[in-house]
Amino acid sequence: MVNVVELKEVSFSAQDKNIIQGVSVEFTAGKTTAIIGPSGGGKSTVLKLSAGLLVPDQGEVYYKNKNVAYMNRTENLDFRREGAFVFQDSALWANQDLFQILELPLKIHFPQMNRKERAQRIKEVTMEVGYRKDLAIRPSRLSMGEQKLIAFARALLCTPELLYLDEWTESLDESAAERLIRIVRKKQKEGVSILFVSHDMRIIKDLADFVIVISDGKLVYSTTKERIANDSELSDYLGMEMTE
């Protein structure tokens, strides 16, 4: 199997605290991996390191066998276009309206598109995630759930090959969460690689091909969906790890 992302002995610290310590993990192309573990254990940090959003203090991050740290400008731009991140807090710019927020990735990665084409693409993705309200407003006027929908729509805009999803169903009602789950299932069928952080065992069992457990900044366990689904003792262990 081919790896889309690989971390080799990666460590990361912040404010004199070791967050990640010597994590080595491979993420298989075209498959879905759930990153789980107790709160504050480092799982979101591993996701951000994998996406190149954080720079490790030690170790190396590879995307399609290329060291992210040594990519040239063109390679880095491809890396950013081919991957898309949904942040736990949505991370929408407060000083721009929703249309501007969604338009920017298209301007960067598809400069040949005109405004009409960008507007059409934005309409497509917002309809897909179920957002039906005005785009000429700022994020502060949205609920947390609506902000998550816009963040998810932003991630879909450039038709990424790799999705990074951090607690992506949090703050959503059941129907909105199910809509995003259906989108993820569709992306799986299209061969998109997906790395996601979640505490919802139902979603993990439903969507993940592989599961890794991050606790105290270390990789402590890795397994497959089949083993979680068939091993009640392991499932209980993972559930406890996630709720500590």
Domain residue spans in the chain?
A: 3-93+162-243
Q: 83-122 burial by CB neighbour count: b if 16+ within 10 A, else e? A: bbbbbbebebeeeebbbebbbebbeebeeeeeeeebbebb
**Structure token pair of residue 225:** 């969906």
CATH superfamily, domain 3-93+162-243, is P-loop containing nucleotide triphosphate hydrolases (3.40.50.300)
Q: Report pLDDT for 210.
A: 94
Q: Which has the closest alpha carbon to 160: 152, 168, 172? A: 152
Which residue would you say has higher pLDDT here, 225 or 91?
91
Residue with tokens 């900044």: 217
Would you call 204 exposed, middle or buried from its count of C-beta atoms within 10 A (0-12, 13-18, 19+)?
A: buried
Beta bridge partners of 164: 85, 195
Q: Report pLDDT for 234.
A: 58
Q: What whole-number distance in Å separates Cα of residue 191 and Cα of residue 186?
A: 9
Residue with tokens 């299932």: 185
Task: Output the CA–CA distances (angstroms, integers) from residue 10 to 2, 61, 196, in the order listed.
Answer: 20, 8, 19
Stated pTM of the model? 0.93
Q: Which has the closest alpha carbon to 45: 91, 92, 88? A: 88
Q: What whole-number distance in Å separates Cα of residue 239 and Cα of residue 203?
A: 13
Q: Would you call 7 helix, strand, or coil by DSSP? A: strand
Per residue in 95-146, pLDDT (tens digit) is 999 999 999 999 999 999 999 999 999 999 999 999 999 999 999 999 999 9
| Torsion region of 220: left, alpha or beta (phi above 0 gives left; psi -120 to 50 gives alpha) | alpha
Which residue would you say has higher pLDDT here, 189 or 235?
189
* Residue 231 pLDDT > 80: no
Per residue in 7-33, pLDDT (tens digit) is 999 999 999 899 999 999 999 999 999
**Structure token pair of residue 159:** 């038709």
Beta bridge partners of 163: 84, 194
Cβ atoms within 10 Å, residue 17: 8
